[in-house]
Chains A and B, each alone.
Chain A
């Protein structure tokens, strides 16, 4: 089945630890995104990548890092510098390549809890 796979679904982290969330897609999409979802805040963009080996900061990039070494993969690292990392993280992809239709395909999300 084509789609976005995020892992792990649930993750617990101690304060001061970095953690990496995985996002893989087999839709052959060029663009990929990471959003953070908090109750009452909606979705806020962390990072996005329109092409391999290139990515841009979103609205709340501080304390996060990403890489885009392969078209299929866009991992997100939540670093110890992120002051309030407990949240629900959503990865998405879109066709990209100048053919942006606004349709994003989302994974099922990863819930990170800092203990």
Chain B
């Protein structure tokens, strides 16, 4: 079945550092790809998405590009802030046509001042 693999965490960075969280996927069709973020004590919320190859999703300074040739959707931010500390989840839409998402295991990011 479809699956998502994220880099293992936790990741600890200093403020203003560059962030990359790797995500690769396995899917039989052409899924849409997503990054969700979970701040401490909260549910998940959509951060950005891309629906087809070479699309770039962006939001709040975060970016990710849908790379079909490498089946990847890596999350990047040029300069992280303490407020970016959270758990980040990569996800894909099920290629079987059902309206559900498959999530990766999550990567915890801590940004120190």
Contact = CB atoms under 8 A, between A and B. Distances in A.
B106 A106 contact: no
B49 to A, nearest CB: 6
B32 A102 contact: yes
Interface residues of A, number: 28
Nearest to B4: A42
B69 interface: no
Nearest to B42: A108
Contacts of A56: 98
B41 A90 contact: no
Leading 6 A-B pairs by shortest Cβ distance: A106-B43, A42-B105, A100-B99, A43-B103, A106-B44, A103-B46
Interface in A46-101: 48, 50, 56, 58, 90, 92, 94, 96, 100-101
